[in-house]
Amino acid sequence: MTKPLMILIAGPYRSGTDDEPARLAANLRALEAAAWPVFRSGHVPMIGEWVALPVLSSAGAEGLGDPLAEQVMYPTAERLLQHCDGVLRLPGASRGADQDVAIARERGLPVWHSVEEIPGYVADDAA
């Protein structure tokens, strides 16, 4: 492999949280746990919330329940997928992650279901 891939990490963020901050934070940590293995394997990890949450905040939204959230959260991932080379779909129910997978497949992008499947995967003990 000669070029690092930008890999969107998709999985539950809001799903099952009732927008409770501690549960949202736990879901974001679960998404972020995949970032190091992706990076360690020579790629650029991307998580839609890393972009969408600051955009939502700068738009003056009062949190995820704000009507602006629907205009920012899913569209951010859709726009990011125009720049990503694939999607790492983590386990768990998530309408947004399922949309990310559908968009990736429409665009002919690969979808992996574990970090071990990504090209050039490097195990933690091999780093």
DSSP 3-44: SPPEEEEE--SSTTTTT-HHHHHHHHHHHHHTHHHHHHTT-E
Retrieve residue 30's tokens.
């679960």
Query: What are the chain's domains?
Result: 6-116 (3.40.50)
Q: Model confidence over 84-125: pLDDT tens digits?
A: 999 999 999 999 999 999 999 999 999 999 999 999 999 987
For the chain, the farthest-separated pair of C-alpha atoms sits apart, in whole angstroms, at: 46
Q: Model confidence over 12-34: pLDDT tens digits?
A: 999 999 999 999 999 999 999 99
